């Protein structure tokens, strides 16, 4: 080649140039999103996304009873003990709570608790019965 001669450039159609440019832009955008999301592409769960049981119970209780001004367990106990204005809503909320029959069943004939049977008013010993029923 002589010094005066210039090499002719190959002709590339404009359509191909536009496709190349578009492909490069989309590739750059894809790489940018991959960098933002990291290795797993944003699909990996974060620890904050998984609700803990205590957190779920609190949100469920707030959603159901928050509109009545009941925020904590003490408010529920107070409403039940004093038969407050929202007693019916609370009992409906606690509806799924049920006890099974006592382990070992009830003993003896159907006499009152004072007379040696299992039925009747247990007063301070009611917690033992509830423990058997859970």
Q: Is 109 left (phi over 0), alpha (psi -120 to 50) or beta?
A: beta
Encode the chain (134 residues) as per-residue pLDDT tens digits.
556 677 778 888 888 888 888 999 999 998 888 888 776 666 666 666 677 777 888 888 888 888 888 888 888 888 888 888 888 888 888 876 666 777 766 665 666 666 656 666 677 777 777 777 76
Cβ–Cβ under 8 Å, residues 68 and 78: no
- Kindly report the pTM of this predicted structure: 0.37
Q: Report the C-alpha gap between 31 and 67 in whole angstroms.
A: 47
Q: Report the C-alpha gap between 96 and 78 in whole angstroms.
A: 20
Q: Report the C-alpha gap between 109 and 124 in whole angstroms.
A: 22
């Amino acid at each position: 080649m002589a010094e005066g001669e210039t090499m002719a450039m190959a002709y590339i159609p404009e359509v191909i140039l536009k496709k190349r440019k578009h492909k490069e832009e989309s590739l750059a955008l894809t790489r940018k999103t991959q960098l933002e999301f990291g290795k797993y592409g944003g699909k990996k769960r974060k620890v904050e996304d998984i609700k803990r049981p205590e957190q779920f119970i609190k949100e469920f209780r707030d959603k159901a009873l928050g509109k009545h001004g009941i925020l904590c367990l003490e408010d529920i106990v107070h409403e039940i003990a004093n038969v407050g204005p929202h007693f019916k809503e609370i009992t409906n909320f606690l509806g799924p709570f049920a006890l099974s029959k006592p382990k070992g069943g009830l003993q003896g004939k159907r006499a009152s608790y004072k007379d040696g049977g299992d039925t009747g008013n247990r007063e301070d010993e009611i917690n033992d019965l509830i423990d058997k029923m859970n």
